[in-house]
Amino acid sequence: MLAITLDIDWSPDPIVDAVMELFEKKQIPVTLFCTNPDTDQSGKSSSLQGRYDERHELALHPNFADLKDCEKILRDLLAHYPDACGFRSHNGSTGWPIWSAASRNGLKYEVDCRVFPVDVPPFALSDPKGFCVLVNRFMDANHLHQARECWSCDDIIAMKEATAESCLFVMNFHPNIIYYDMRSTDDYALHKSYYHEPRERLSFRRNVPRGAAKLLLDLLTSAERDHFMTVSDFGRTRGLWH
């Protein structure tokens, strides 16, 4: 099975909505790792609770600036997303203290921020008992660093088809990278200066996609609808959590 995940990263609402429209039209569920809107100084990113949680999974995207505060950071996010089952760290911090705090607050899993090029089945931790870690097989931000990346979904489909049934093929995207159809770190630097001020004329909806948006659009067209599921649904169907 294949899970599409989005790291919201305080993306402004119009960009999130434009990207989510792709999944809504195809009726494909995604997992959205949501940052805390209370910490967005721009005021352009709001809570997604009540907007997408009926059709998609809302999970947490905490920014652990200090591991001593990880419990409070998780609780503050859970106030916005009380039904969240899992998380992915925004800044890559992970490990036993965070897993323990997550488990104490009712979370069941973390999707690791790193990308693994091989099958890695979800693995349960003995302490905290029952907490699971899953890994990424793709992240669009990593591909921006690859010279002459063709942004074709052919390799993705081939990797997905070769993935064992015991594994979930997790693909991680970022709304702004899709929206501006980024292809390189130069593209990222170009659009970073107006991160919170969407420029529709530069979006994938106004131009022929050739980068990250092309890959995603091709993937949504090429893969069968029943190949997609959220991270939580995969865990429940496999008996990893309830």
Give 40-84 pLDDT, tens digit per residue: 989 999 999 999 988 999 999 999 987 888 999 999 999 999 999
**Separation of alpha carbons 66 and 62, rounded Å:** 11
Per-residue pLDDT, averaged over 114-130, amounts to 89
Per-residue pLDDT, averaged over 129-140, amounts to 93
Specify the CATH number for 2-237; select among 3.20.20.370, 3.40.50.1370, 3.40.50.1980, 3.40.50.150: 3.20.20.370
Q: Looking at the chain, how many residues does it have?
A: 242
Give phi and psi for 34, each to the nearest 5: -100, 130
Contacting residues for 179 by C-beta, under 8 A, at least 6 apart: 11, 15, 18, 19, 198, 203, 204, 213
Write the pLDDT tens digit of every residue in 193-218.
Answer: 999 999 999 999 999 999 999 999 99
Q: What are the structural domain ranges in the chain?
A: 2-237
In this structure, which amino acid lies at residue 224? E
